[in-house]
Amino acid sequence: MLGLVFGSGFENFVLQNARTQKVTTPFGEAEFDIGIFCNKTIVVLHRHGKDHRYAPHQIPARAQMWALHEAGVTDIIAVGSVGGMSAENAPGHFTVPDQLIDYTSGRESTYWGEAPIATSHVDFTQPFDEGLRGKILDAAQTCKVYVHNRGTYACTQGPRLETAAEVRRMIMDGCDLVGMTAMPEAVLARELGMRYALICFSVNWAAGLVDNRLDFEAIKLNMGRSVSTLERILAECVAA
Ligand code: HPA
């Protein structure tokens, strides 16, 4: 079964006949919806909570990924807003990243030693599932939406935005886009054996690249503009 993991901007996503499930996992509470989207039963999880109660550093990712796995999710398409750090990631552009660098700190990022499953040093050479990446890119092509087919996602700790020097460093590290939520989500999915891919939409230039300061209201406005396009791509992914 497919699971969609949404970040900010998707609070009004409509799932037909949706049932909300609240589950208690060994790692705390998690909530998701099961319902119909494009004639298929899927699971939808809002990683910040439907009431946006979790800031990026507070997201209970271990409970959330555990809950999706227990519900029978095998494939996760996650969506995340990002700041752009390369020409292909100007605000308004979409990217399906193929790599990431984890700059977070202090997040609970493994099940190892704490879960009733055998976890080990998971291979994370390719952090995103190639098959699922291809599915998103094919869907975007069918929808005639240009989506960049590669990029390195920098995951920062947040909740503050980055300094200009941090952005310069991440560009030197080879990063193309910066967000706060793909980790540890992606690696936890890998530990549980779920396929995971991410589609990102750029809502601002990363700190220091153009303006003197970042305006979160402008960022939110940009978010709204991309959501309906993303929903079309996701519908095509589900229907295909
Ligand atoms: N930095 C980190 N996360 C983000 C940004 C950003 O500039 N824009 C949207 N999410």
Ligand 1: residues with CB < 6 A are 81-83, 156, 161-162, 178-180, 203-204, 206, 219
- Decide: 156 and 180 in contact? Cβ < 8 Å: yes
Other Cβ atoms less than 10 A from the Cβ of 205: the count is 17
- Decide: 78 and 196 in contact? Cβ < 8 Å: yes
Protein residue whose Cα sits closest to atom 9 of ligand 1:
82
Does residue 223 surpass a pLDDT of 80? yes
CA of 184 to the centre of ligand 1 (A): 16
pLDDT tens per residue, range 80-117:
999 999 999 999 999 999 999 999 999 999 999 887 77
Rounded to two decimals, the ipTM of the complex is 0.99
**Mean pLDDT, the chain, whole residue set:** 94
Protein residue whose Cα sits closest to atom 7 of ligand 1:
83
Type of residue found at 146: Y
**Which of 160, 180, 200, 225, when mutated, tests ligand 1's pocket best, judged by the most ligand atoms within 8 Å of its CB?**
180
Report the distance separating Cα 56 and Cα 158, nearest Å.
Answer: 6
pLDDT for the residue 202: 96
pLDDT tens per residue, range 16-41:
999 999 999 999 999 999 999 999 99
Q: Which residue has the higher pLDDT, 165 or 52?
A: 165
Report the distance separating Cα 180 and Cα 88, nearest Å.
Answer: 19
CA of 83 to the centre of ligand 1 (A): 4
CA of 179 to the centre of ligand 1 (A): 5
- Tokens coding 212: 């003197």
pLDDT for the residue 233: 97
Is the pTM above the cut of 0.90? yes
Q: What average pLDDT score do residues 47-58 get? A: 93
Give me the helices (H) in 173-215, please: 182-191
Protein residue whose Cα sits closest to atom 5 of ligand 1:
83
CA of 102 to the centre of ligand 1 (A): 14
Does residue 7 surpass a pLDDT of 80? yes
CA of 178 to the centre of ligand 1 (A): 6
